[in-house]
Structures are given as structure tokens and as C-alpha cells.
Structure 1
Amino acid sequence: MSACSHTWSHPATTGGGADIRLPWWALALSALAFVTLLALILNPSDAHAATGDRALTQLFQRAQELFTR
């Protein structure tokens, strides 16, 4: 059984480059998400958990202490 092959009637454009435009909010939302995550990384005391197990919290504190040495 042979498969059909499609041929394109117009050649691909090679000289103009890509003309892709994003809406303004796509850049704004990605920048906001980046800044928010960076702020949480730099100051983790602002990130409060609703409820948590004390043992799990201590485990994360120990891991953070090991990584910061």
C-alpha cells in the first residue's frame, strides 16, 4: 500500500525572516511570573505555608542549610 505524498504549490520564504508577534500581555505575564518566583527564592520567609508537618518543615530547613554551605 503506498502513501500519498503532498507537494506544496508555493515555495517556502527564506529571505524575510519570521514575523511572529506576541500580544503585550504575554510578555507582561511571563515577566511578572519570573519576578514573583525570583522574589520567593531570594526571600523565602515571605512564602508561608497554610499548614504543614513540623518534621517536614525541619527536613526542608536542614536541606536548605546543607545547600547554603
Structure 2
Amino acid sequence: MSAVPGRPAAAKAPRSRLRMRLPWWALALPVISFAALLILVAGPARASAASAPQGLAALLELLVRIVRGGA
């Protein structure tokens, strides 16, 4: 059996001038997402800091209280 050299069937098809159009949501969703993230990032001026102690000092203090039995 010998293979017949040639172009694939897809290459033989004539190229038509199809204009691909994006659906409306393909542009709207990224714009809405970007705007929502921008609002979230730009709005932390009203946020308040947590009142809980942070850092290694608070962890060590907690460990000392647990070891002494005063937890």
C-alpha cells in the first residue's frame, strides 16, 4: 500500500471571508471585573486595623502563658 502524497482535505477547501464577531459579554465581563477590582483596591481608606496583637512577641507571650498553666 502506498500513500498518495498531497494536501490534507482541509487545505483544499476554499477560504471564505468570515468575519468573527465577539459576543457582547466577551468585552463586558472583563470591563466589569476590572472596575470591581479597582473599586475594591481603591476603597481601603475606610478600613480599620484589627485590634488583636500581631507578630512574634504575641506568639511568645501566648506560649509562656500556656507553659506556666495560666492559659
Task: State whether TM-score is above 0.5.
Answer: no
TM-score category (smaller protein): 0.3 to 0.5
TM-score, length of structure 1 as denominator length: 0.38
Give TM-score scaled by structure 2 length.
0.37
